[in-house]
């Protein structure tokens, strides 16, 4: 067969395959098919709307983000952050009230002392006397920030892993060291951990214009069944600088006094701004 004949045959074959595929997609109406394995698939419009509006996870999908019971201690009033020296903490289990006093603490990776044999991750887990979850976070030298949480009398602090360098203590200047410029009036900067509205941040409606590449917000309102928000932003390439920068977004969340926020899996601090209600 000549080269021209082979070319015509190839083009004809491609057209036949495309026609077959397109005929099968004629009834396609979106990412979710109307039927799967012969069964009708019902679109959860409520869940789709909640996620599109505020990145909130509702419905059956929410169970995938709550894998174990939360501790009732999460509903306790937050403790004051009192200055205390940082000290290195090794892998093991510690009891609050025996190994160190109750209080509000920060856990951070000692980046300034990094050595090749001290760059492994560590898992921090805080539970109550019933072993129910209060806080769990992966500590790594590649995350920006620290974990801040309340430790109540009788809580258990577990730190697992090998070859890591982690310290705990408390400093009111920790947040300011994470930003290049001072925060403006109304701006809030939070890291992984547990926060109480009315103590670490004021009540009000807040606007999120930039979201980190990943993370979750669990909002407790006097119940152990929290609202769940996925904090997953998008990045785009700045052609002038060659750097990837966050894509601007606009999400609003109203917070009330006494609510508790559990921020998890953020690889950088979360910054948001109080909405101007004077207009």
Rounded CA separation 238/72 (Å): 45
Whether the CB-CB separation of 247 and 235 falls below 8 Å is answered with yes
Length of the chain: 279
Which pLDDT value is given to residue 172?
94
242 burial level (CB within 10 Å; 0-12, 13-18, 19+): exposed
- Reduced to 3 states, what is the DSSP secondary structure of residue 174? coil
Q: What angle do CA 33, 38, 44 make, to 5 degrees?
A: 40
Block mean pLDDT (10 aa), the chain, length 279? 46 42 40 51 62 75 93 97 95 97 95 64 96 96 93 98 92 87 88 97 92 91 95 77 74 95 94 78
Q: Which two tokens stand for residue 56?
A: 């909130």
Q: How remote is the C-alpha of 88 from its chain's centroid?
A: 26
DSSP string of 42-99, one letter each residue: PP-HHHHHHHHHH-EE-GGGGGGG--SPBPGGGGSPPPP---EEEEEE-SEEEEBTTT
Q: What is the pLDDT of residue 9?
A: 45
At 116 the pLDDT is 59
pLDDT score recorded for residue 23: 42
């Amino acid at each position: 067969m000549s080269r021209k004949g082979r070319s015509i045959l190839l083009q004809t074959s491609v057209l036949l395959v495309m026609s077959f595929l397109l005929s099968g997609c004629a009834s396609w109406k979106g990412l979710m098919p109307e039927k799967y394995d012969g069964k009708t698939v019902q679109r959860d419009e409520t869940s789709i709307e909640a996620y599109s509006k505020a990145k909130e996870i509702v419905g059956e999908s929410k169970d995938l983000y709550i894998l174990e019971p939360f501790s009732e201690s999460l509903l306790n009033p937050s403790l004051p952050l009192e200055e205390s020296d940082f000290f290195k903490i090794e892998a093991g289990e510690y009891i609050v009230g025996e190994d160190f006093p109750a209080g509000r603490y920060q856990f951070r990776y000692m980046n300034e002392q990094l050595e090749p044999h001290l760059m492994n991750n560590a898992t921090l887990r805080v539970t109550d006397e019933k072993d129910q979850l209060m806080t769990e976070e992966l500590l790594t030298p590649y995350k920006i920030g620290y974990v801040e949480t309340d430790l109540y009398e009788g809580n258990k602090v577990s730190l697992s892993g090998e070859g890591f360098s982690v310290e705990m203590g408390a400093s009111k200047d920790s947040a300011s060291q994470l930003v290049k410029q001072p925060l403006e009036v109304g701006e809030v900067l939070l890291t992984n951990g547990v926060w109480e509205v009315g103590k670490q941040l004021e009540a009000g409606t807040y606007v999120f214009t930039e979201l980190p590449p990943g993370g979750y917000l669990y909002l407790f309102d006097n119940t152990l069944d929290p609202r769940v928000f996925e904090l997953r932003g998008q990045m785009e390439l700045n052609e002038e600088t060659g750097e990837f920068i966050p894509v601007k977004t606009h999400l609003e969340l109203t917070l009330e006094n006494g609510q508790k926020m559990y921020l998890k899996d953020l690889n950088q601090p979360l910054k948001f701004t109080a909405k101007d209600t004077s207009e």
